[in-house]
Every structure is written in structure tokens, then in C-alpha cells.
Amino acid sequence: MERHTVKRFLYLIQWAIVGGLAAYFINAKYYSQPYLSYPNPVFQTVEKVVHPGEVLHLKLRRCNSDAVAHIYPLARKLVGPSTSVVLPILSVAIEPGCHPMEISGLQTIPLSDEDGPTKPGTYHIEGFGQVVGEVNTWNVHWRSVDFKVEESK
């Protein structure tokens, strides 16, 4: 009888481990959230009018709900009338907590794209921060308000 009891105990341990792993992965897949958030994902611009080659400053608030700092990739593109220009991907650091900030130097209006010089018109910049978790990967999207691009002076 004792051998049968040990075998049953080992089966219980095995199923407890399998059940625990299943609960962990279900929780991580369906209930976990990214540490990065933008309380208002539509960023204001400091400048209402810019010229190609100039820097556009964005005002934003971003939050890191984790207890440690993180570095994440930031993808961006300039979207305008009948065009979309992918801007270089950046690595961005964020400390724990919520941080209001003004970003400069990240959003330089390109002088040209594959179709020639950047044309005058109404544009916005959109992008996402990519957060990689234990099981999931999230793209946390944002965009700027519309702004005008005028011909170079």
C-alpha cells in the first residue's frame, strides 16, 4: 500500500506543476499589461508651423508602471498629404512613474523623401513604443496633433 501512496503523491505533484504552469501562461497571455502607457496618446506640438530640416517639439506624458527603468524601441513615421515617411527607430529609456516631458531632437522634419523634397501641407507624426513581456509583445501607439509644414526659407 505504501508504494501506491508514493506513486499517487508523485502524480499529484506532477499535475500541480502542470496546472501551475498553465495558470501562469494563461495569466501572462490574457491578463498581463505593458508597463508603458501614454495617458493622452495624442501629443501636443510646441510649433504649429515647421520647415523641412527643423525640429518639431512634442509635449507628452508617459508612464512606467514597473518598479525598474526600461529601454524600449520607438518607431515613428511622418504622415502627410499622400505621403508617409518612416523615421529612424530609436531606443528610449523610461524611469518608473509618470513623467511629463517635452521631446526635441527626435522629430526632425526630413528635407526629402523618395519623391523629392518634403512638400508643404498638414502632417502629423505617429508611432509606437514596443514593450516585450514574458509572453506578449505590445505596441503602445501614439500620434501628434496636426501641424503645418511650409517650404524652406
Each residue of 35-79: pLDDT tens digit?
999 999 999 999 999 999 898 999 999 999 989 999 999 999 999
Residue identified by cell 504622415 is 79
- DSSP string for 90-125: EEEEE-SEEEEEEE-SS-BPPSEETTEEPPSEEEEE
Q: Which residues contact 75 (CB under 8 A, 6 or more apart)?
A: 86, 89, 127, 128, 130
Residue 68 CB neighbour total at 10 angstroms:
8
Q: What is the pLDDT of residues 7-25, one digit of tens each?
A: 888 888 888 888 777 777 7
Rounded (10°) CA dihedral 67, 68, 69, 70 = -100
Q: Does residue 1 surpass a pLDDT of 60?
A: no
Say what the pLDDT of residue 105 is: 62
Read off the pLDDT of each residue in 3-10 and give the average, rounded to a whole number: 81
Share of the chain above pLDDT 90, in %: 46
Q: Is 14 helix (H, G, I), strand (E, B) or coil?
A: helix
Specify the CATH number of the domain 36-149.
2.60.40.10
Q: Does residue 26 surpass a pLDDT of 70?
A: no
Measure the CA–CA gap between 80 and 93, rounded to whole angstroms: 28
Say what the pLDDT of residue 29 is: 63
